[in-house]
Structure 1
Amino acid sequence: MKRKYALAGALALLLAQCPAPESYAGDGPKKAKQQYNVLFIAVDDLNNDLGCYGNTFVKSPNIDRLARRGVRFDKAYTQFPLCSPSRSSLLTGQRPDVTRIYELQTHFRQNLPDIVTLPQLFKNNNYYSARVGKIYHYGVPGQIGTDGLDDTLSWHRRVNPRGRDKDEEALIKNLTPDRGLGSALAWRATEGTDEEQTDGKVASEAIRILNEKKDEPFFLAVGFYRPHSPYVAPKKYFDMYEESKVPLAPEKEGDLDDIPEAALFTKPANWGLSVDQRKEALHAYYATITFMDAQVGRVLDELDRLKLTDKTIIVLWSDHGYNVGQHGQWMKQSLFENSARVPLIFSVPGGTRGKSSSRTVELLDIYPTLSELCGLDPGQKLQGYSLTPLLKNPAAAWDKPAYTQVRRGNIFGRSVRTEHYRYTEWDEGRAGIELYDHGSDPDEFTNLYKSDKYTATLKELAGLLKKGYPLTAQ
């Protein structure tokens, strides 16, 4: 009981210290002119290696066409580069220091039992709320086919597909055999059809629900599992790429010399894999992106066929980014750009099409944005900002930075990203500080923390970081 009241007090303190976001400033959300459906597409462990984000090697035609239908956010960031903390934050509208979810075992309702989640808001407002696949956290591949850490209050219906990728795990090749499949560089080019795979079943079940509920308002959350490891997809998607031509992340001699030890998740660098093994892993990662993209395309095609596109808001997001060799790092759980940055695309009927925004936004902003677009009052303070001004004008004035944090053992790393800089403190600076100038160093090769030229910038960004994490300044 004492713990519950302590958490409630921490929540009240943090919300009191945080500036009120646009989503609930003034008179509250405006009523929408019509009742939109929501197609809420989540992708697991997807970075920005997509055609629409400028990667000309990766084939992602369906996500690319969704970007042409709406607004692509080029500087969107996760709040915590790990599945459960990120998803708990996004779906509750609260930062990780409020949800207190920093790992993969604790359910957010243990700490926030009365919070109204994003899908629950729609469910409470006469929308049919359904989930297919992974929206809240559960382990991949171990918990495929189960509810995992799902939230029963959020949905009218829950579907947990399980495909042959799960049944054939014994055939998967693991390049890092000392790591479990869910956190390994492991892959399989399988036989059979798309529809036999778990992601293929996700698309099929989503299509079934679209047909069943086409005549009533719905919030349909479609959670794809790939490209989360193990990287499993039908062989035809592997055949789309020539492994020898897979481009590896750029490297620079001495790159790690100015990086704090706490910043590194992958040790040793690249887990000791050779260049050929890294190409093999990245080949598989990209093949699964293209496979997942094809399943997204099946759902979008059905939405078009049912003539629902003109009354459905579509949002596509990934729970965090993914390192594929940058600084010798792989996967998530780091505060480098490739791990913190995520794809985020909004398509709104009658809205801006084929534009991009370079403003710094957060996954936390999805909840207030959908609330405002659909004219729903969350009835609680949300810590994100509504993106509706940027959906109308992607270059609109915007001074909100993005905050990302991670836990490393008993300490935290916390980072603030502006349009020009990334500033990071490990254990409030005691375990290291990083500053990167993205205007001249987009690969984050040079830590400017000790540069006299950036003294004023460091002071400004340190203040901005403390503003974003007020409880840590107590």
Structure 2
Amino acid sequence: MNKFFTYIYCLSILLTGCKSNEKKESIVKQNHQPKNILFIAVDDLRPELNFYGANHIKSPNLDKLASESLVFNRSYCNIPVCGASRASLLTGLRPTRYRFIDYATTADKDAPNVISLPKLLKQNGYITRSNGKIYHENNDDSLAWNNIWFPEGNIRNYQLEDNIKNNGNANLAVAGAAAFEMAEVSDTAYFDGKIAQKGIADLKMLKNRSKPFFLALGFMKPHLPFNAPKKYWDLYDRSSIELPASYIQPQSTPKEAFHKFGELRNYGNIPLKGDIPDDLAKELIHGYYACVSYVDAQIGLVLDELKRLELEDDTIVILWGDHGWNLGDHKLWCKHVTFETALRTPLIIKVPGITKGETTDAITEYIDIYPSLTELVAIETPNTIEGKSFVPILNGEFPEKDWAVSKFKDAVTLIKGDLFYTEWTKDDGVAYARMLFDHKIDPLELDNLAEKPAYEKQVKLLSLELREKWGKDFLKK
């Protein structure tokens, strides 16, 4: 048995005592051969799913996967923007004031000397394949992969003639094209259907290889534009869709916490300023739901193939969304803020022989994913990694680490227990605005406590703790 894995196993026995017979069998079984990893990323996916307590989005395949997995109720991205979040997750490094900043972030530029998760796996004998959107830039960290594939065509992937014409050759949204479309097309007309079929083909190819595989599938929806085949729109009755209970911007919340959601306003059917009209807001929510159901169906096809090929028992499946998303929460759309709606993310992991539909309320950060997967496949984690493995949670333990730190631009948030504390800081780390929410009494984050005299002492302590935990390189250029 690998020395590193033996150490972890022995430590778990010491910590858990004689109740570990079942865990011992699972862990020993896990080490008979290196496990494959099916690594599923879903762009802009909120944890608004049945296994998180919602009951209005139809996602039967994700529900089934969750029933066989460990579901993280309190998982948080480290930065709510796609390029930076993905680079941070795959390198295991925290964002800082000057590293992992925006959607255009690349690991090659911001962490050139760090061994990424796929590169480490490749160095240790894994076949690594990237399909769809894994990094934001397709060729980022290119040496980590045996193969990189992305569907051909315009990134906006419109199918309706007017949208195709209005969008032209632009890969970013332009004034004429709509923020959503409902087309009478097959599932494979859109990118996610193609990504699923490529994943299925890869599984068939990898089935008989002598090496373990790391197959990464990056699905595009529910990212804007909300384009999905009509049959998925037909699953929902728009008259039953309601605006969120937090459809308000309280005076007590710092103005810095809000933005004009320019990502959405780029589309031709969205007002250039002001609130989104209620009917249009509900249509956007409808489109988001349809896209979630569409991508759920594609993921289901891949998981069905994994089972048909009898690879289930040898494959870890992990599914994550790169950040949260606002659907009118705080009258905001898109991400790019540090409210919980942009930071909290879906994260589920299925480990054969171990997970059986459990849930955990342990606070988990996305930088924890890298060291967790390396531990599960018994590969030593590089000392550059800043996250902490959540494998103890799989063994029925509660981790010592009970906090997370996320940031976006000047805003840095400490998540600890029920508290969400955010500071907006200057280059020298001095705060110029702050907000504090207690989710025990204010889960919708509508009452900022940071400037209330009764919380002055607590704010000072949280401010110190934030600086202790935001990373040793946070202010380093």
Coarse TM-score class (shorter-chain normalised): 0.7 to 0.9
- CA gap of 1:464–1:114, structure 2 versus 1, over 3 A, is same
In the alignment, which of 183, 205, 210 is matched to residue 203 of structure 2? 210
Question: Would you say the 8 A contact 2:285–2:327 is kept in 1?
Answer: yes
Counterparts of 1:134 and 1:85, CA distance in 2: 13
- CA gap of 1:45–1:199, structure 2 versus 1, over 3 A, is same
Normalised TM-score (structure 1): 0.85
Tell me what 1:369 maps to.
Answer: 372
Tell me what 1:466 maps to.
Answer: 467
Report Cα offsets for 1:121-177 as digits up to 9, x if no partner: 111111110011000004xxxxxxxx3x53211110111113696253763499xxx
Number of residues paired by the alignment? 432
Counterparts of 2:111 and 2:240, CA distance in 1: 48
Identity score, percent: 36
Tell me what 1:349 maps to.
Answer: 352
Tell me what 2:157 maps to.
Answer: 166
In the alignment, which of 316, 328, 332 is matched to residue 319 of structure 2? 316
Tell me what 1:422 maps to.
Answer: 420
Counterparts of 2:77 and 2:174, CA distance in 1: 20
Partner secondary structure for residue 433 of structure 1? strand
Partner secondary structure for residue 96 of structure 1? coil
The aligned runs of 1:289-300 (5 Å cut-off) are: 289-300=292-303
Tell me what 2:450 maps to.
Answer: 449
Report Cα offsets for 1:445-473 as digits up to 9, x if no partner: 10011223333432332122101224457
Shift of 1:211: 0.4
Report Cα offsets for 1:232-273 as digits up to 9, x if no partner: 0100000001112112111466x4201111111236999421
Counterparts of 2:193 and 2:315, CA distance in 1: 22
- CA gap of 1:236–1:341, structure 2 versus 1, over 3 A, is same
Counterparts of 1:29 and 1:158, CA distance in 2: 35
Counterparts of 1:190 and 1:63, CA distance in 2: 24
Counterparts of 1:329 and 1:385, CA distance in 2: 32
Counterparts of 1:99 and 1:63, CA distance in 2: 36
Counterparts of 2:349 and 2:446, CA distance in 1: 32
Normalised TM-score (structure 2): 0.84
| 2:270 equivalent to 1:304 | no
Segments of structure 1 that go 5 or more residues without pairing to the other structure are: 1-23, 139-146
Tell me what 1:400 maps to.
Answer: 402
Shift of 1:113: 2.0
The aligned runs of 1:36-435 (5 Å cut-off) are: 36-97=35-96, 100-138=99-137, 147=138, 149-162=139-152, 166=157, 168=159, 171-172=162-163, 181=173, 186-216=179-209, 217-251=212-246, 255-266=249-260, 271-393=274-396, 396-407=398-409, 412-427=410-425, 428=429, 430-435=431-436
- CA gap of 1:80–1:182, structure 2 versus 1, over 3 A, is farther
Shift of 1:107: 2.6
Report Cα offsets for 1:171-203 as digits up to 9, x if no partner: 3499xxxx9539997100112111221000000
* Amino acid in the other structure paired with 2:244: A
Counterparts of 2:387 and 2:394, CA distance in 1: 15
Counterparts of 1:422 and 1:436, CA distance in 2: 5
Shift of 1:110: 2.3
- CA gap of 1:222–1:248, structure 2 versus 1, over 3 A, is same
Counterparts of 2:327 and 2:104, CA distance in 1: 26
Question: Would you say the 8 A contact 1:251–1:326 is kept in 2?
Answer: yes
* Amino acid in the other structure paired with 1:181: A
